[in-house]
Amino acid sequence: MSRTSKTVTAVLLAAALAALAVPVGLNLAPGFLADIRGGAATTSVPAAQQEPTALATLGGISALSQDAPLPSKEALATALDAALATDKGDFTAVVQDAATGQELYSRNGTAARIPASNLKLLTSLAALKTLGAGTTLPTTVLAGPTPSSLVLRGAGDSLLTAGPSDPAAVVGRAGLATLAQQTAAALAAAGTTGPVTLAVDDTLFTGPALNPKWLEGDVDAGEIAPIYPMALYGGRPDPAGAPALRPQDSALSVGAAFADALSAAGVQVAPGVSRGTAGDGARTVAEVRSATVGEQVEYLLQQSDNYVAEVMGRLVALAAHEPGSAEGATSAVRSTVASMGVNTDGMVLTDCSGLAEGNWVSAQQLAQAVALMAADPDEDLRAGLRGLPIAGLSGTLGERYRDAATLAGAGLVRAKTGTLNEDLSLSGYVVDADGRLLVFSFVGNSFKDGSAAAKPAVDAAATILAGCGCTGS
Domain boundaries, the chain: 3-131+298-466, 138-291
Distance CA 92, CA 426 (A): 11
The radius of gyration computed from the CA coordinates of the chain, to the nearest angstrom, equals 24
In the chain, what percentage of residues exceed pLDDT 90?
79
Is-contact 148 197, C-beta < 8 A?
yes
The answer on pLDDT for 426 being more than 90 is yes
What value does the mean pLDDT take over residues 287-294?
A: 98
> What is 256-319 written as a DSSP string?
HHHHHHHHHTT--EEEEEEE----TTPPEEEEEEPPPHHHHHHHHHHHT-HHHHHHHHHHHHHH
Residue 468 CB: number of other CB atoms within 10 A? 22
The pLDDT value recorded for residue 52 is: 52
Sheet holding 103-107, edge to edge: 103-107, 90-97, 437-445, 424-431, 414-419
Q: Which residue has the higher pLDDT, 306 or 279?
A: 306
pLDDT tens digits, residue range 58-108?
333 445 567 889 999 999 999 999 999 987 889 999 999 999 999 999 999
Q: Which residues are catalytic?
A: 117, 120, 304
Q: Which long-range contacts (C-beta less than 8 Å, at least 24 apart) are formed by 100-108?
A: 101/371, 101/375, 102/70, 104/70, 104/71, 104/73, 104/76, 104/438, 105/73, 105/76, 105/77, 105/80, 106/363, 106/364, 107/80, 107/81, 107/363
Residue 111: is its pLDDT beyond 70? yes
Peptide bond just before 71 cis, omega within 30 deg:
no
Q: What is the distance between the alpha carbons of residues 451 and 457, in angstroms, rounded to a whole number?
A: 10
The arithmetic mean of pLDDT across residues 420-447, rounded, is 95
Q: Does domain 3-131+298-466 have CATH number 3.40.190.10?
A: no
